[in-house]
Amino acid sequence: MLTKRQNLLETIRGGNPDRFVNQYEFMNLIMEVPMGVEFNYGKIWKDQWGITWNWPEGQLGMFPVHDAEHTVIKDITEWKKYLTIPVVPTSDEAWGPAIAHANSVDRREEYVTGLKIPGIFEMTHHLMGVENALMALYEEPEAMREFIDALTQYELEWAKVMIEKIHPDCLFHHDDWGSQKSTFISPEMFEEFLLPAYKKIYGYYKANGVELIVHHSDSYAASLVPFMIDMGIDIWQGVMTTNNTPELIKQYGGRISFMGQLDSGPIDFPGWTPELVAREVEKVCKECGKLYFIPNLTQGLNFSSFPGVYDAVSKEVDKISKEIF
């Protein structure tokens, strides 16, 4: 039997996997990396960038607050005045738990996976508000380019320190680029503003020992796949059914792999049942096939919003593997 890591490589390289890669199993996520991201259920707080977050009780996630008082960058032409870029922590104290976790991983079995959450596009709208961020791409393109460059420099600094500290061989990087039906911005605009930033960032990771780039965007983004390949993404995690994933696999398999296809909305909800999960897992595994595809909830981490769903999916993936392989 292949190790998780070997099986992953067989799957994404078009070889001979002996089972489906089961969701996040190949990524040992080093959640202790000091990204400065907080998850404070039921609270309102300010993060290291000055962004105010609100996570009301009963909500599935947290929301940045963008009223006049709380929006960090109130005028993109003066972003330098409003933005204080945090310092990437380098102390042993800050990195100790992450280093200990990374050292405990059997790298023959799993990838030591560093994280960066959120990504460049999300940072623009977290700091500015989404409408302002999107309009600024038209109204103040130069200022947006400078601002994106500054965010990119921060990411490169983060990458440098994280690589030094935990020597990841995989990166899991978030940045949502679309809704379930469309990308937020046109492919042309993406190519102009975001592709150069990501080529630098992912290029740096690849040049410094990171073998695998996994990018999370639980959305439609089929029109961006050529750019994903260009910037060095190996696996697009979060691919939704709206992308016509079987067709993407046919078209791009071998250059990029697709992880997801189990849309959270209709599967990961309070009324879920094991039968529903079984049906959906079987359907997507048969539709998408053995290569260049990893069945997975589109959720951006290795859990579900509602207890039991993630494990039920894993169980069904194992079951369908026995049938198909």
Partner 1 sequence: MAKIDEVKAMVEAGKTKLVPGLVQEALDEGSAAKDILQGMVDSMSVVGDKFSTGEIFVPEMLMAAKAMAKGVDVLKPLMAGDSSNSLGTCIIGTVAGDLHDIGKNLVSMMIESAGFTMVDLGVDVPADRWIEAIKENQNVTLVACSGLLTTTMPALKEAVQTIKGSGLPGFKVIVGGAPVTQEFATEIGADGFAPDAGSAAVKAVELVKN
> What amino acid occupies position 202?
Y
**15 vs 266, which CB is nearer to partner 1?**
266
- Kindly tell me which residue out of 179, 279, 318, 324 binds partner 1, with binding defined by CB under 8 A: 179
By CB under 8 A, tell whether 265 contacts partner 1: yes
By CB under 8 A, tell whether 184 contacts partner 1: yes
Nearest to 230 by CA among 207, 250, 256, 205: 256
Nearest to 236 by CA among 29, 108, 154, 223: 223
Q: Tell me the window of 148-156, 161-169, 185-193, 254-262 that interacts with partner 1 (CB under 8 A).
A: 185-193
**159 vs 185, which CB is nearer to partner 1?**
185
* Cβ density class 206-245: b for 16+ within 10 Å, e for less: beeebebbbbbbbbbbbebbbbbeebbbbbbbbbbbbbeb
Which is it for the CA torsion 206, 211, 217, 220, positive or negative? positive
- Kindly tell me which residue out of 7, 113, 152, 183 binds partner 1, with binding defined by CB under 8 A: 183
By CB under 8 A, tell whether 154 contacts partner 1: no
Residue with tokens 């070997």: 6
Shortest reach from residue 297's CB to partner 1, in Å: 13
By CB under 8 A, tell whether 181 contacts partner 1: yes
- Kindly tell me which residue out of 27, 30, 72, 137 binds partner 1, with binding defined by CB under 8 A: 137
**130 vs 301, which CB is nearer to partner 1?**
130
- Kindly tell me which residue out of 63, 86, 104, 318 binds partner 1, with binding defined by CB under 8 A: 63
Taking CB under 8 A as the criterion, which residues in 187-246 touch partner 1? 189
How many amino acids of this chain bind partner 1 (CB under 8 A)? Answer: 26
Task: Give me the sheet containing 44-46, strands edge to edge.
Answer: 44-46, 52-54, 63-64
- Kindly tell me which residue out of 186, 209, 273, 279 binds partner 1, with binding defined by CB under 8 A: 186
Shortest reach from residue 183's CB to partner 1, in Å: 7
- Kindly tell me which residue out of 78, 106, 139, 247 binds partner 1, with binding defined by CB under 8 A: 139
Structure tokens given for 322: 């026995």
Cα-based distances in Å from 40 to 53, 57, 91, 155: 9, 10, 24, 24
Cα-based distances in Å from 303 to 24, 69, 95, 300: 9, 34, 24, 8
Distance between CA 191 and CA 294 in Å, rounded? 27
Binding site for partner 1 (CB under 8 A): 54, 56, 58-60, 63, 130-131, 134-135, 137-139, 179-186, 189, 265-266, 269-270
